[in-house]
Structure 1
Amino acid sequence: MSLVIWAEGRMVGAGEAAMSAVDHGITVGDGVFETCTVLDGQAFALTRHLARLARSADGLGLEAPDEQKVRDGVAAVLQESVRAGGAFDGRLRITVTAGVGPLGSGRVEGAQTVVVAAQDSVMAPASRAVRSPWPRNERSAVAGLKTTSYAENVVALAHAKDQGADETILPNTVGDLCEGTGSNVFVERDGELVTPRLDSGALAGITRELLLEWGAEAGLPVRAARAGELPFTVLDEVSAGAAQLVLTSSGRNVQPVTWLDGVDVAVGDASRATRELFEKLCRERLDP
């Protein structure tokens, strides 16, 4: 299936102009977005994603996105995608920008721009990761917000790919484990999976959130870290085989890391169990 795009109420081609050249989302990255997993032609956890979209907009000082307009765009894209190629697994992206604005950082209040796109894709069963030489600023004005200002992540991910990885793991400025460029991180130690606290600067990932909820429901040892429990140096334990690593996101679900900084690393039992649980429940509970 080719890329299917809906922009401001109409279907557009991948190479067709769909936004103003002075849309603030283009000129200064003034916008928010969500990426949903698509399962059998339907968006997974859409309600949670739309709630986070609204939280990110509020954090940027944008008006709350028109939820019905966004849902209409999602429905149009998924219907066209299924019509063109049948039910599919893939990804759907929702982008909301501040709309047409000045060339500088100042914002003019007005109509927002909404774009929705979908494409089929296959999730890899495992990940190869490296440590980032750059930290995430947990004190940033946009810490924890899913914004279209993604240049830091683009540079960090390109650095990882140059080393043969598909993700890079970032510390924060005080040396704690934080997140990947587009994923949350869980460390398996002593039989339990522990993820950095949100005050580390990490994004409140939907997959992270569901894994914590579903893991607790199933009696699996999954929890958020205590203060100071996960320094960035915990990755030394992973490299040494004393701990294991898992990434979570809408593009990965629950994905064990099998290679870190050029060293093959094992997958832990808790990591396997939570991956199996998530793969089962995400298809049984479409909008949890």
Structure 2
Amino acid sequence: MSQAPLIYLDGKLLPESEAKISVFDHGLLYGDGVFEGIRFYNGRVFRLTEHLVRLYESARSICLTIPLTFEELEKATLDTVAANNLRDGYIRLVVTRGVGSLGLNPYQCPKASVFIIAGSISLYPAEKYEKGLTMVTCATRRPAPAALSPQVKSLNYLNNVMAKIEAIQGGGEEGVMLNEQGYVAECTGDNLFIVKKGKVYTPPISAGGLDGITRGVAIELLTELGVPVIESNLTRHDIFVAEECFLTGTAAEVIAAVVLDRRLIGDGKPGPLTQKLVAKFKELANSTGTPVVYPA
């Protein structure tokens, strides 16, 4: 029988059955908190520093004080992976506002709560990485930056969840989300890229998408391959007439998208540049990262 997962919760590693938060936690009551999803490969946590920097920036933006230093949180993350004796997997790092009153006032929550889960994730079926994803354009729009900055990875993901429901009900695995101007912002959980005439295009962050860590890695790798990457406003038309399309995200990694709204993208198969990028990403992810120190 496999051992029950150990969860880091406010300074302790606890069995999953004992890792509990209060029903008065504002993270549960109001989605008041921030999180990061992080991958680890071959006993190394991929781009851990970048993820933690973004977590602290998200927290700062919503006036949430993380009760650990950067170094303490880094150690807690690595220790959680080591305690579960995992070499490959996914980390969910969550900071909630903590226990407070039933009112909105966050200043009635004296201390934030931190929990870390290390486990496995399979965002899409394996065959989709070979054949590509089907996408659906969602009626649900991304919130305007004046409402909530897309750079804050908050616990309130209902906007994305509703769009994901639309995508699944529409027969797709992923949904394309537009901003209020009708330009592509991102997908429900991934950043989007298209390929046309030897160049790669992706929506600028100002269009309303998250500045994804894997997005940045993809741009780095494409630059190394000598492929120009252009940040430009995109519409559905641009995706319809693209030669290739691929998505990037921590959980998804790099994956081809071959259909949008029942229209084939290119020839309806993962394209050569996408396949080359997938291979480059796998090579990088499996050979770099912050090492985990496992118990002897």
> TM (normalized to structure 1)?
0.87
Alignment equivalent of 1:33, drawn from 29, 32, 35: 35
- Greater mean deviation of Cα atoms: 126-135 or 65-74: 65-74
| Alignment partner of 1:205 is 2:190 | no
The reply on whether 1:127 has 2:133 as its aligned counterpart is yes
Displacement after TM superposition at 1:260 (Å) = 2.7
Matched, 1:235 2:223: no
Report what 2:144 is aligned to. Answer: 138
Inter-CA distance 222–65: structure 2 relative to 1 (3 Å threshold): farther
Aligned match of 1:151 in 135, 142, 158? 158
User: What SS does the corresponding residue of 1:96 show, helix, strand or coil?
Assistant: strand
Amino acid at match of 1:63: T
Cα distance in 2 between the residues matched to 1:48 and 1:7? 22
Cα distance in 1, alignment partners of residues 158 and 57 from structure 2:
21
The one-letter amino acid of 1:39's match is Y
1:267 corresponds to which residue? 270
Q: Displacement of 1:270 after TM fit?
A: 2.2
CA distance in 2, matches of 1:22, 1:68: 29
Match of 2:191 in 1: 184
2:102 — aligned with what?
103
Partners of 2:229 and 2:193 in 1: CA distance? 9
Secondary structure at 1:284 match in 2: coil
SS of the equivalent of 2:142 reads coil
Structure 1 gaps, min length 5:
none
Aligned residue among 263, 288, 291 for 1:285 = 288
Alpha-carbon separation, structure 2, partners of 1:64 and 1:8:
11
Question: CA contact under 8 A between 2:9 and 2:19: conserved in structure 1?
Answer: no
Distance of 1:268 and 1:79 partners within structure 2:
38
For residues 47-86 of structure 1, what are the structure 2 equivalents within 5 Å?
47-64=49-66, 66=68, 67-82=70-85
The 3 A distance-change label for structure 1 pair 166 and 19 is same
Residue 293 of structure 2 corresponds to: none
Structure 1 vs Structure 2 CA RMSD: 2.1
Structure 2 stretches lacking a partner, 5+ long: 291-296
Q: Percent identity?
A: 29
